[in-house]
Structure 1
Amino acid sequence: MRIIVPVHRLPHGWQDARGLEAGEVQARRALHGRNDVRGQPPHSAFQSLREAASDPMSWFLVGTSLLYFALGERVDGVVMLVALAPLLGMDVFLHHRTRASTEGLRGRLAARATVLRDGREEEVPAEDVVPGDLARVEAGDQFPADGLVVRGDGLQAEESSLTGESLPARKRPLGGLPPGAEPAVEGAHWGFAGTRLLTGTAWVRVIFTGPETLYGSILRSAGQEVRARTPLQHAVAHLVAVLVGVAAALCAVLALVRWRQGFGWLDALLSAATLGVAALPEEFPVALTFFLGAGVYRLARRQALVRQAVSVENIGRVSCVCSDKTGTLTEGLLRVARLLPSPGTSPRTLLWTAVLASREEGRDPLDVALREAGARELPELPGPAREATFPFTEERQRETAVVRQGPGTLLAAVKGAPERVLALCDLSPDAAREWALRVDALAREGHKVIACACRTLDAGHWHGGEPEQGYDFLGLVGCEDPVRAGVEEAVRECRDAGLRTVMVTGDHPRTALAVARKLGLGGAHPTVLTGEALESRLADTGQVPPVDVVARALPAQKYALVKALREQGEVVAATGDGVNDVPALQAADVGIAMGERGTRSAREASSIVLLNDDFGTLVSAIAEGRQLFSNLQRCFLYLLLIHIPLVGTAALVPLWGQPLLYLPIHIVWLELIIHPTAMLAFQAPARPGRLTPLRVRPASSVFSWREWAVLTGVGGLMACGLVWAYARCLAEGHDVERARAVAVATLVLASATFAAVLTRLRTRTARWVCALSLGLSGLLIQVPALAALVGLHPLHLRDGVRVLAAVAAALVPLLLAWPREQADWPRWRAGRPTTAPRPP
């Protein structure tokens, strides 16, 4: 990574140990502002509520609630207002999440900084740092801003939360600027805001502050992303609008016809009101809210915390997963994985020497890994007294410790870059070439490789210097960031289900390729591109090339990848755990953060948090999302199948000139059956270990034209059968109360049978709901005292046969159109067609 340096920001003699004067500080602060990455404040909660109030769905729920109150249905009116609360609360939550995300990002920045001003060191708030300041950063402290390292030895910085690199980044002072007004300087000479110095003491000349830092650019990218309404929300809103229009037209026509038929204004208004209550599609937005809430609960039981309810829908449509490597696919910790001792050297001796050459204290991940391996494998060996330590530097690329081995004897133990350690040892050219090949083989497997050697010294002749030659080569130590348990199986399940998985990492391409092969990404030959190569391809073609791994990726490149994939029609889930992942998490359709290792910024920017950091939990969450699609569409299918005959007969029979088919109490009764059936019977959970491929579904509709044909056909047959049964009852001279009982019984039986067919009675709840609706309705119709309360007369045997015949006639085409459960019909998908899994 190379960063442009605006030379005009550097004070005269910027490499000298000279700080700014007070006047310079004031002038630079007036020119560049304070060192504050927060930028513009987010919208207030009131603004979020005002924007949410403009949603047509909110106005529909308010209008429906007022209509229910006008009709005296206070309970239903209150239900509509309660259903409005989640819609308004969601936008308020987004406001809170944006503000919390900003605070989470800011929480990783240094609070105070030590700078050299007016010839003396002073500690100031980090917000007071200005370009040109000379800041001192101690081990364990955070860099207050972005600047050039001008002094320091043995410097290492922890940048994983910013760059995605799991290993510490070596830093070295800049000897001089390349020529030019704005020269480019390698990232090894930079200290970045939001990162931490692990070893040494660094003096940094500040160049960028506040929003101009790399950290600030990440925050700006995070704030620019705005989530659009999901396809399901659009589809439901469109369906509701159409149904409301149809209902309003029917009500107006019915009122006019009844008045022209001479039934009077009261009958006309009652007919229209009854039809309106039956026809208003309030169940659809309520069902959407309820099902999303149920999905949130189910995902929480699978250790996936949903921060935004509509993400339950989005995760079911995911077609591509962009996952970071460190801490997500891997554990994010270095571990000793391979010991290759030289002939005559035991693995224990090799490991013991590596531990001796490591610092006893410090946060260098390599030293931590070696110390942990030594404590695990060599618990009985005491640590000898150290006489001297020669720390790692960029120039030396090795670390040496001189320890007391016995009376009059010292041992010099060295570890470091293999080429440097091999040069210190007495090896033949052939042996050196053989070990170099082994180093390359370990590196291709994704290991960080160090070499170890030792030399015995005579304490009487040692004068305190580091031995430069004469070492005995002991072998190689390979460390790796291991793949998380179960991730390989989860990746395979995604591939088999047609999910494209792209690993995005800041690691070296060779390391990333080795991890990809272990995971099975891209089969036997994963396609690897660097972040720069991907950025170049996107600039040239505007299309994402076939790629399985993006290595050496910067935050902006991961963000660009997610945006490009979405523009190509993919529904993208992006996983991450660091600050560097925030833009991609917010740009994705579903941002998924790791809960255990993830930063607060990543969790606040995401819509789903995996509490156990298990990639397999992501697969389970996708399975639940896809099951939600199936459940919700079956629910909508049921609602339409039962409302088509209900609304059709409620309109046609009065238009025919007959008495009202349904009284308001009958509509309330039927709605009390329809609502619980729709909300409870279709809550089937995803089957464990079953992630089915997505099917094609246009984003603009809930059903395809074929499914609409089945709906209208079955609903029309049901309406015809109901009218036939009702008319036959009247033709035989029975009173209208018995004919109404036939109509109501037909709809109750149709409701139970349609629900049974659509749910396959897979759940206990579905079985109980269907049984209770039939049992309680049977009692209400057949017990004379109860039937009289609702204006009905009990049915005779012949009436029961007519009811069965009417339902059976409508059920036959539904059973013929409904394939086996394995075909997973109805099919739902918004986005790019995926009819079969991609080949590995």
Structure 2
Amino acid sequence: MPNRAIPADRLGNLRGSDQGLTAADISARRGLYGFNDIVETPPASWRDLARDTARDPMIWFLLGTSLLFGILGELVEAAILLGALVPLVGMDAYLHRRTQASTQGLSSRLAARATAMRDGVAVEIPARELVPGDLALLGPGELFPADGLVVAGAEIQVDESALTGEAYPVRKQPIDWQAATGGRAGEAHWAFAGTRLLTGHAQLRVTHIGGETLYGEIVRSALSGAHAKTPLQTAVGGLVAILLVAALIMCVVLAAIRLLQGHGLVDAFLSAVTLAVAALPEEFPVVFTFFLGVGVYRLARRQALVRRAVAVENIGRVTCICSDKTGTLTEGRLVLAHQEAAPGCAADGLVKLAALAARADSGDPLDIALVEAASPPEAERLATFPFTEDRRRETVIVRLPDGRCHAVMKGAPETVLGMCSLAGAEGESWRGKVAGFASSGHKVIACADLILDEGRWQGGEPDRGYSFQGLLAFEDQVRAGVKEAIQACRAAGIRVIMVTGDHPATAEAIAREIGLGGAAPVVLTGQEMQDGAGPAETARWDHADVLARVVPSQKLELVRALQARGEIVAVTGDGVNDVPALQAADIGIAMGERGTRSAREVAAIVLMDDNFRTIVRAIAEGRQLFRNLQLSFAYLLMVHIPLILSAAIIPLAGYPLLYLPIHIVWLELIIHPTALLVFQELPTSAELMPVERGGRPRFFGRGSWLAIGTVGAMITIVVVLGYHFALGAGGDVEHARAMALVALVVAGAIVTATLSALSGWTARIVVLASLASLLLFVQTPALAPLVHLRPLHLLDWGLAIAGGLAAGLVSLLVGFLIRHPGGGLATPTQFR
């Protein structure tokens, strides 16, 4: 964590004082600094939901259209359109709730209550009532309620993983006001909101509250950061905008022409509204949202839980992965890796001896690793001299079952070696071994003991004459499968960057082990990132494999810089410190097992097995899901083009209306399930194909657009000519409408079959159901009049099927171009 300036104006005469604030102090400071609201939860009332929903133009369009039909006496059509409002309002409510849940997740790591000295008495108060200058009292397991300076306490160890992502506890010590120079305090003296006191007791002089805390800064960055639209969202938005403008123009023109043709005002309005309902492009955003929502189950089978459906598009286009080290590439816990026993000390004896000085309930990962490696032998603990930053060692006095008393010491090697009786050359040899372990990323401790004469022992800690017993080296092990996943990413042209707050030597050792950057990974520190401004430094940064000692703001800066270079960036993380970067990334990937709730809430994807290699599988799955979405949109276009054109051409030519509102609803009940459900069951390749960079973001290639337009034009011709043929000299409008509807539905069913290859029961059921609806509503004499249709003759069916087959042959080309890279339709790897 960074050094911070001591706010002298907030502390005043409180430096060195062990007194709390008075009621007058609190009132004055409340007026200056307000409440300690680190995360402000937005209101969740129904009024806010109604306001957000009212901003959706689709709601007003359907409501106005339904009202118009009601005025015209078309009550059935009005009721149907009103019913269409339900899923749209439900979607708005769902998105509103998700915003609430995300913010509540950020609040879950904060203290709800705090104990503070008020008017000379320790009282428990809501944490939001703390003000700068308050003296907060904390015990083991409690969350720090604000940022401040540790002014008193002992054996203080703090879990800062929610802010730093690092698994190791951080030792804190009270500030020495006389030694504090330059108006700044080192990180060992600061404690931060959202972190937890693991051991000891601490007194915190509050300096920063609310949004001024480090946690508050991270939250503010996360909540204010807006996601840039992805290429697919941009393409869908552009398509919707074009269709909306075209629909409005066509509606106005159609209404004017119908009036000029003498059909009357009611007919003109009915024609325009019917065309508007047919042309309204609500299917595309709805299909985009719900199609991806259904598709997340495919990623869930790959142990990747998708929390924002847009990730289905982005995951297949990833070109760069910025990965945490601790808990992502590694397991996030210490294990004993190496033992170097001194002559005369057995290896298992060394571990058991060190375990005597460990406390399983301390919360220290090193103590936990020692106890797991070797249960300490039975012994009576007579005294404990705990580890502090000044002492750099922990010593226990124990009586063994044989009655002997031992002083057992473990701690920093330089400290322990200095208290042992070693010859100069022997001591240098052990220091060399310590340096070797440290350079390979291990956490090293030394162990020594001293046999005591209990009769002469006065109860203090012996400070010399120890017998050196050896070294123990601990490591945070690499997760299984990570090395292979890194190799797969490199082969596919996906850049992987390790971003960590850990020591550069530790990060470099892990990078070498997993093959990141080869035998000599390029390692930069956060300070070097900040200082590097020249061309040489920038070039080195561009080729960095590891970024160590990085703070949250630098991780966010890294993501934005990579995006500015055209990279599609995935960021993995598990702590609150990762929240801004996770939200700014094209794909934020949180760890499901050990990740904080805040990280999971803002991430687009949560890895349920916390395994880096799952990302590789998810990328391959995402590419198939995106291809499925392309097939769905191609179907929508090939069906909607003839629907809109025929709805406009027939009345413009002076004929009676082709589609009534009930017909539009019927068609939508066929189109929506087809687009949403059919294209979900296509198989996925397990291989990660190479990523191609460069090129303009496209949704469909020119060849695909040409083929789609051709199919749409062919179906339009079949529908219009079928209507004209069936209308005949007698002007049987209901027969003509039935002919046009049958031609359109049959063509749509054939297009569905060709694009999906009927690969799955869903496709077969939907195709059969759409054809069965024709038999039900067209060929059933009792039902046909209710929907303003008349049964068709066998010749009519033959012509409609022939026209649909012709269009279906061309749609085969569309499916081919989508499934085969380079065929004219942008694949995820071309989506740059």
Q: TM-score scaled to structure 2, two decimals? A: 0.84
Q: Distance in 2 between matches of 1:77 and 1:23?
A: 62
Tell me the equivalent position of 2:440: 445
Say if 1:685 and 1:527 are closer, same or farther in 2 by CA, change over 3 A.
Answer: farther
Tell me the equivalent position of 1:386: 381
Q: Distance in 1 between matches of 2:583 and 2:282?
A: 32
Aligned residues: 823
Q: Which structure 2 residues correspond to residues 781-820 of structure 1 after superposition, within 5 A?
A: 790-796=789-795, 800=798, 803-804=801-802, 807-808=805-806, 811-812=809-810, 814-815=812-813, 818-819=816-817
Tell me the equivalent position of 1:336: 336
Q: Which of residues 78, 83, 88 is equivalent to 1:84? A: 88
Matched residue SS, 1:550? strand
Cα displacement string for residues 794-840 of structure 1 (whole angstroms, at most 9, x for unaligned residues): 223x973784366326624752783373529775689x9766xxxxx
Tell me the equivalent position of 2:22: 22
Q: Quote the offset at 1:348 in angstroms.
A: 1.0
Cα displacement string for residues 55-97 of structure 1 (whole angstroms, at most 9, x for unaligned residues): 4444445456556766542464145202322442145225523
Say if 1:727 and 1:417 are closer, same or farther in 2 by CA, change over 3 A.
Answer: same
Q: Distance in 2 between matches of 1:110 and 1:659?
A: 69
Q: Distance in 1 between matches of 2:115 and 2:678?
A: 61
Q: Which structure 2 residues correspond to residues 14-163 of structure 1 after superposition, within 5 A?
A: 14-15=15-16, 18-19=18-19, 22=22, 25-26=25-26, 29-30=29-30, 32-33=32-33, 36-38=36-38, 42=42, 45=45, 46-47=47-48, 49-63=50-64, 72-74=76-78, 76-97=80-101, 99-101=103-105, 103-105=107-109, 108-109=110-111, 111-115=113-117, 118=120, 126-127=127-128, 129-163=130-164
> Do the aligned partners of 2:41 and 2:100 also contact (CA within 8 Å) in 1?
no
Letter aligned with residue 751 of structure 1: G
> Do the aligned partners of 2:645 and 2:716 also contact (CA within 8 Å) in 1?
yes
Say if 1:671 and 1:165 are closer, same or farther in 2 by CA, change over 3 A.
Answer: closer
Say if 1:51 and 1:203 are closer, same or farther in 2 by CA, change over 3 A.
Answer: closer
Q: Quote the offset at 1:115 in angstroms.
A: 3.6
1:768 has 2:768 as partner: no
Tell me the equivalent position of 1:644: 641
Matched residue SS, 1:453? strand
Say if 1:299 and 1:462 are closer, same or farther in 2 by CA, change over 3 A.
Answer: same
Q: Which of residues 698, 704, 709 is equivalent to 1:707? A: 704
Q: Distance in 1 between matches of 2:79 and 2:297?
A: 26
Tell me the equivalent position of 1:413: 408
Letter aligned with residue 236 of structure 2: V
Say if 1:417 and 1:61 are closer, same or farther in 2 by CA, change over 3 A.
Answer: farther
> Do the aligned partners of 1:392 and 1:398 also contact (CA within 8 Å) in 2?
yes
1:479 has 2:477 as partner: no
Letter aligned with residue 575 of structure 2: G
Q: Which structure 2 residues correspond to residues 592-611 of structure 1 after superposition, within 5 A?
A: 592-606=589-603, 608-611=605-608
Tell me the equivalent position of 2:559: 562
Tell me the equivalent position of 1:291: 291
Letter aligned with residue 337 of structure 1: A
Q: Quote the offset at 1:20 in angstroms.
A: 5.0
Q: Which structure 2 residues correspond to residues 313-392 of structure 1 after superposition, within 5 A?
A: 313=313, 315=315, 318-359=318-359, 361-375=361-375, 382-392=377-387
Tell me the equivalent position of 1:169: 170
Matched residue SS, 1:451? strand
Q: Distance in 2 between matches of 1:522 and 1:66?
A: 65
Q: Distance in 2 between matches of 1:51 and 1:404?
A: 70
1:512 has 2:507 as partner: yes
Say if 1:517 and 1:221 are closer, same or farther in 2 by CA, change over 3 A.
Answer: same
> Do the aligned partners of 2:21 and 2:117 also contact (CA within 8 Å) in 1?
no
Which deviates the most, 802-811 or 384-393? 802-811
Say if 1:100 and 1:699 are closer, same or farther in 2 by CA, change over 3 A.
Answer: farther
Q: Distance in 2 between matches of 1:461 and 1:48?
A: 77
Cα displacement string for residues 16-73 of structure 1 (whole angstroms, at most 9, x for unaligned residues): x542563773476256535613376635543454244224444445456556766542
Q: Quote the offset at 1:252 in angstroms.
A: 4.6
Q: Distance in 1 between matches of 2:367 and 2:816?
A: 63
Q: Quote the offset at 1:580 in angstroms.
A: 2.5
Matched residue SS, 1:414? strand
> Do the aligned partners of 1:579 and 1:601 also contact (CA within 8 Å) in 2?
yes
Tell me the equivalent position of 1:222: 222
Letter aligned with residue 113 of structure 2: A
Q: Distance in 2 between matches of 1:828 and 1:297?
A: 24
Say if 1:62 and 1:124 are closer, same or farther in 2 by CA, change over 3 A.
Answer: closer
Q: Which of residues 619, 625, 629 is equivalent to 2:626? A: 629
Letter aligned with residue 5 of structure 1: I
> Do the aligned partners of 2:779 and 2:790 also contact (CA within 8 Å) in 1?
no
Tell me the equivalent position of 1:838: none
Q: Which of residues 744, 750, 753 is equivalent to 1:753? A: 750
Q: Which structure 2 residues correspond to residues 397-412 of structure 1 after superposition, within 5 A?
A: 397-405=392-400, 407=402, 409-412=404-407
Q: Quote the offset at 1:298 in angstroms.
A: 4.8
> Do the aligned partners of 1:448 and 1:478 also contact (CA within 8 Å) in 2?
yes
Q: Which of residues 430, 436, 446 is equivalent to 2:431? A: 436
Q: Distance in 2 between matches of 1:21 and 1:753?
A: 79
Q: Distance in 2 between matches of 1:94 and 1:262?
A: 52
Q: Distance in 1 between matches of 2:465 and 2:10?
A: 49
Letter aligned with residue 553 of structure 2: A
Q: Quote the offset at 1:169 in angstroms.
A: 1.4
Q: Distance in 2 between matches of 1:497 and 1:75?
A: 53
Letter aligned with residue 642 of structure 2: P
Letter aligned with residue 339 of structure 2: L
Matched residue SS, 1:675? helix
Tell me the equivalent position of 1:3: 4
Q: Distance in 2 between matches of 1:711 and 1:618?
A: 34
Letter aligned with residue 374 of structure 1: A
> Do the aligned partners of 1:171 and 1:189 also contact (CA within 8 Å) in 2?
yes
Q: Distance in 2 between matches of 1:139 and 1:792?
A: 81
> Do the aligned partners of 1:231 and 1:700 also contact (CA within 8 Å) in 2?
yes
Cα displacement string for residues 286-318 of structure 1 (whole angstroms, at most 9, x for unaligned residues): 323431432355555655555555555555555
Q: TM-score scaled to structure 1, two decimals? A: 0.84
Gaps of 5+ in 2: none
Q: Distance in 2 between matches of 1:197 and 1:752?
A: 64
> Do the aligned partners of 1:342 and 1:474 also contact (CA within 8 Å) in 2?
yes
Which deviates the most, 21-30 or 194-203? 21-30
Say if 1:67 and 1:151 are closer, same or farther in 2 by CA, change over 3 A.
Answer: same
Tell me the equivalent position of 2:418: 423
Q: Distance in 1 between matches of 2:545 and 2:594?
A: 24
Matched residue SS, 1:389? strand
Q: Quote the offset at 1:422 in angstroms.
A: 2.8
Q: Quote the offset at 1:765 in angstroms.
A: 0.8
Seq. identity, %: 49
Letter aligned with residue 511 of structure 1: T
Q: Distance in 2 between matches of 1:368 and 1:61?
A: 63
Q: Quote the offset at 1:751 in angstroms.
A: 1.4
Say if 1:121 and 1:725 are closer, same or farther in 2 by CA, change over 3 A.
Answer: closer
Q: Quote the offset at 1:394 in angstroms.
A: 2.4
Say if 1:93 and 1:521 are closer, same or farther in 2 by CA, change over 3 A.
Answer: farther
Cα displacement string for residues 311-364 of structure 1 (whole angstroms, at most 9, x for unaligned residues): 555555555444433333333222222223344533211111110122354222
Letter aligned with residue 7 of structure 2: P
> Do the aligned partners of 1:725 and 1:742 also contact (CA within 8 Å) in 2?
yes
Cα displacement string for residues 649-671 of structure 1 (whole angstroms, at most 9, x for unaligned residues): 44445555667666776655544
Q: Quote the offset at 1:166 in angstroms.
A: 1.8
Q: Which structure 2 residues correspond to residues 613-624 of structure 1 after superposition, within 5 A?
A: 613-619=610-616, 622-623=619-620
> Do the aligned partners of 2:14 and 2:133 also contact (CA within 8 Å) in 1?
no
Q: Distance in 2 between matches of 1:54 and 1:206?
A: 43
Matched residue SS, 2:363? coil
